[in-house]
Structure 1
Amino acid sequence: MNYLDLFSGAGGLSEGFARMGYKGIAHIESDKSAAETLETRMAYYYLKEDNKLDVYREYQKIYSLSLRERKEKREKFMETIPNYIKNSVINCEISYKNLLPIFEKVDKQLEINNEKKLDLIIGGPPCQAYSLIGRSRTGSNNHADKRHYLYKLYFEFLKKYRPKVFVFENVPGIYTAKNGKIFKDIQEKFDEAGYNIKSYDFNSFDFGIPQNRKRVIIMGFKKGLNVNNFEYPENKRNTYIVKDFFYDLPSIKAGEAYKDFKYKNKPTEALLNTKIRDKKDLLTHHISRPNNDRDLKIYKIAVESWNEKNERLKYSDLPYELITHKNTKSFLDRFKVVAGNLNYSQTIVAHIAKDGHYYIHPNIEENRSLSIREAARLQSFPDNYFFEGSRTSNFTQIGNAVPPLMSEYIARWIKKLKII
């Protein structure tokens, strides 16, 4: 079975299908760093199939180098990867003017892979225009956000390739965007394209992921196919606490980067059962952003409040000298601890790239926000997933991603249907 991945991001949705043995014909992503992350992941699967994961692990060690040195090493590494693997990642914006060139590249990839058709299309347009938080940030300008209508481009790929199945991922806000007009139009467009759709409200937590992350998954099936409702995984809700996912990581302070590749402890049951860590893994991306003294004082107060009293810090309750925002009536949870004693964290979103105030580490001794690797683990990305680009870009890629573990369950269910 093969698939085309649209609006791919760093490849969280694609990862679940790759794990289940689907062949990625092409992945289309406009962000350069995210596209490079995808390219590296495709190289991982190529080397894994060729029993050369030692080559990949050696490549991971470039994380100890500067960005300039990494770029040089990456170029040499990618020279060893076949072109058809590298060309499966198309770094291009999906737009009407780019449709024909993209179609040509996808067609070429089908030809190279000796495939006559696409079995499956997956992906989800950027969700910021639909999310409630995104709407609050853009305010009155939200109506002009062109991202509202990117689903129409998804529709163009369905018309062109006519796969039996598609998977469209987004946020719950898609139901109410433009007073419900967007979702109604989506239903009509997919019906017009010849698909019956089933819409599901998923929470990552129900798939064994230590995060409260609600998402809408729309699955489309060609009319005429008899498909029952999605089978939710039984007894898979995450029962481990968040600390179980951080236990093996060395302690670091704000602004520090751990580059020794070694873990502090053996992997916990939580890490092994969620496929986040393997005994042969190297530790990369365990780096935290720096903070000023005022923020670090607030972090300590927030952690003390949670760890000692099980209470969330309200911004308005801070000492006067630590309050810098005029607004003390709303957004009072702008500083929030990732509770180590709960089974889930708050939703990891792309805003984590701008500051870590909403993602404070539960260990008061470390006094920092989450590292890149910790955020990736809360999304269920495996430790062997190598994120390319800067620290800021890595956080953005992770915050925008679909948790791979949830994607894997979707891919497994579709495979069981035996309709492709």
Structure 2
Amino acid sequence: MKGIDLFCGAGGFGSGFEQFGMDVLYGIDVNEMALETFDRNHEGESIQHDISEGVPEKLRGIDVNVVFGSPPCQGFSDARGSRRLDDERNQLVFSFIQWVGELQPEYVMMENVAGMTTIGEEFLDAVEREYRDVGYEVEWAKLNAANFGVPQTRERVIYFGVREDSPITPTLPNGDYTENGDGQLSLSGREMNGWRTVEQAFEDLPEPTDEGTIELPPLSEYPDNDYLRDIRNGGRRTYNHIAETPADNADTRAIIENLRPGEMYRSSRFGDRYRQVWDLLSDRFTETEQDCLHFIARHRTRSAFKMGDKGVGAVPDSKIAHGLEHDDDTVYTALQDLLADGWVRTDEDGDTLGYDLNTKSGIRPRYMRLNPDGQSNTILTTDFKPRDKLHPTENRGLSLREGARIQSFPDEFEFVGSFGDIANQIGNAVPPLMAKALAEHIQTVDEEINQRAVQK
């Protein structure tokens, strides 16, 4: 089967399709550096082109079985906090559909972030209507990459479509592992031991280097690691194993060194996975200051305490003082010292002065240390900064190769560009192992259609 990859980026989607045996003829994108990576790793031709400007003359009339791709997702992403129907970035979905209408493949596969489904029924109805207008029936499902052998709980919306003259209704694989007779878990005939883990993805990687190209130890040293067999593909070398180190200051070092696997620095949340500033940096604060920070964190979302009518708000200094078993003057002094040191911010409502946590004190998630025995959450383009994700056991950020391993890129896949360029390419990609399973599904559907044709 032959395909064309729209909004291809580095080519994660295409990599998975090629691993299954599909011939990817072209990769189309506007990002020059991503296309250099595409060219380095794919036999198909890259074309730098703005897809919103329609199909270029060179591609009109080409014969392809599948059009697949990932329209940019920033307009939908929960991570970015924007899911507006009129966001111009959302219109690229319709540009993708216009290409499908122009090229008329037998099948279409479109990937996007899970936030696409929360933008509203009006938008989802418009997408299905546009597909019908160009002659396709589509079905969509929210799929988790972890269910397809990827060590990452990355949820994505997948649209699969067939031409309206097809004898079948489009369906999608659910990716669920189910027990077979031996009590193991299976998917598409492959016996698995459940979701792959971060430890499996990193087990054979040495320390990162300045240059990034590394030789890997023999695979025979990891006889039980089926993930490495998939990723290595018989190779003994990989690339882009470069990592950033955290800022060199006492507070950052103390936070990172004290975070255990699976934990993150976040003072505005409570539970086993969260560690707060007054805990990790207890030696920086007096007992009153620790109690003030704790009180603010506990009460900033409670209507009886916070200022204003928003979901969160500063807590009036008088309520902090009255709520703590300390002398009022001691509390007010502690709050002023915390403000002077940048651990809290203030807000005013008339004569009322309120205090709230700020970024420095962990109001937002920071320094998430991956759990080696579990899966990574969704790899984002920003996750190679040490302030966002940390190695499970080492006090540094993820290397680019470690991120690529979490995304299930083959080890021979070499990324091109600056550290930031490559971080964007990895974070924006469709995990190749997930894409491979989707290509397998297309082949299964195609075989069913051909079988029905023969039976006629």
TM-score range, shorter chain: 0.7 to 0.9
Q: How far, CA to CA, are the matches of 2:203 and 2:77 in structure 1?
A: 33
Match of 1:61 in 2: none
Length-normalised TM-score, structure 1: 0.76
1:196, distance to aligned residue in structure 2 (A): 1.1
Q: How does 1:341-356 map to 2 (within 5 A)?
A: 341-342=373-374, 344-352=375-383, 355-356=385-386
Match of 2:207 in 1: 251
Listed one character per residue, the Cα deviations across residues 130-180 of structure 1 (whole Å, up to 9, x for unaligned) are: 0122225xx9xx566310111111121122111111001011211122x33
8 A Cα contact 2:201 2:227, kept in partner: no
Match of 1:372 in 2: 400
Q: How far, CA to CA, are the matches of 1:148 and 1:339 in structure 2?
A: 34
Listed one character per residue, the Cα deviations across residues 89-134 of structure 1 (whole Å, up to 9, x for unaligned) are: 01222223xx2xx4212248x4xxxxxx221100121111101222
8 A Cα contact 1:2 1:22, kept in partner: yes
Q: In structure 2, do the counterparts of structure 1 residues 191 and 274 end up closer, same or farther at CA, with 3 Å as the change threshold?
A: farther
1:262, distance to aligned residue in structure 2 (A): 1.5
Match of 2:8 in 1: 8
Match of 1:213 in 2: 154
**Secondary structure of 2:158's partner?**
strand
1:346, distance to aligned residue in structure 2 (A): 1.2
8 A Cα contact 1:3 1:26, kept in partner: yes
1:89 equivalent to 2:46? Answer: yes
Q: In structure 2, do the counterparts of structure 1 residues 303 and 413 end up closer, same or farther at CA, with 3 Å as the change threshold?
A: same
Listed one character per residue, the Cα deviations across residues 173-199 of structure 1 (whole Å, up to 9, x for unaligned) are: 11122x332212101111111111111
Match of 1:333 in 2: 365
1:257, distance to aligned residue in structure 2 (A): 2.5
Larger mean CA deviation between 27-36 and 274-283 belongs to: 274-283
Q: How far, CA to CA, are the matches of 1:125 and 1:346 in structure 2?
A: 21
8 A Cα contact 1:315 1:335, kept in partner: no
1:106 equivalent to 2:134? Answer: no
Q: Which amino acid aligns with 1:126?
A: P
Q: How far, CA to CA, are the matches of 2:117 and 2:232 in structure 1?
A: 36
Q: How far, CA to CA, are the matches of 1:260 and 1:192 in structure 2?
A: 49
Q: How far, CA to CA, are the matches of 2:383 and 2:248 in structure 1?
A: 19
2:121 to 158, 180, 189: 180
2:130 to 156, 175, 189: 189
Q: Which amino acid aligns with 1:346?
A: N
Length-normalised TM-score, structure 2: 0.71
Q: Which amino acid aligns with 2:417?
A: G
1:316, distance to aligned residue in structure 2 (A): 6.4
Return the structure number with greater strand share: 2
Match of 1:392 in 2: 420
Q: How far, CA to CA, are the matches of 2:276 and 2:134 in structure 1?
A: 49
Q: In structure 2, do the counterparts of structure 1 residues 323 and 265 end up closer, same or farther at CA, with 3 Å as the change threshold?
A: farther
1:228, distance to aligned residue in structure 2 (A): 5.8
**Secondary structure of 2:390's partner?**
coil
Match of 2:240 in 1: 285
**Secondary structure of 1:5's partner?**
strand
1:298 equivalent to 2:255? Answer: yes
8 A Cα contact 1:351 1:396, kept in partner: yes
Q: How far, CA to CA, are the matches of 1:17 and 1:325 in structure 2?
A: 50
The aligned length equals: 353
**Secondary structure of 1:288's partner?**
coil
1:382, distance to aligned residue in structure 2 (A): 0.8
Match of 1:33 in 2: 33
Q: How far, CA to CA, are the matches of 1:126 and 1:325 in structure 2?
A: 36
Larger mean CA deviation between 145-154 and 401-410 belongs to: 145-154
1:361 equivalent to 2:391? Answer: yes
Q: In structure 2, do the counterparts of structure 1 residues 388 and 191 end up closer, same or farther at CA, with 3 Å as the change threshold?
A: same
1:25, distance to aligned residue in structure 2 (A): 1.9
8 A Cα contact 1:337 1:362, kept in partner: yes
8 A Cα contact 2:415 2:422, kept in partner: yes
Q: How far, CA to CA, are the matches of 1:182 and 1:281 in structure 2?
A: 47
1:283, distance to aligned residue in structure 2 (A): 2.4
Q: Which amino acid aligns with 1:415?
A: Q
**Secondary structure of 2:8's partner?**
coil
**Secondary structure of 1:134's partner?**
coil
1:128 equivalent to 2:74? Answer: yes
RMSD after superposition? 2.8
Q: How far, CA to CA, are the matches of 1:163 and 1:143 in structure 2?
A: 28
Return the structure number with greater helix share: 1
Consecutive unaligned residues of structure 2, counting only runs of 5 or more, are 178-185, 265-270, 285-340, 346-355, 451-456
Q: In structure 2, do the counterparts of structure 1 residues 402 and 157 end up closer, same or farther at CA, with 3 Å as the change threshold?
A: same
Identity of aligned residues (%): 27
8 A Cα contact 2:38 2:46, kept in partner: yes
Larger of the two Rg values belongs to structure: 2
Q: In structure 2, do the counterparts of structure 1 residues 231 and 131 end up closer, same or farther at CA, with 3 Å as the change threshold?
A: closer
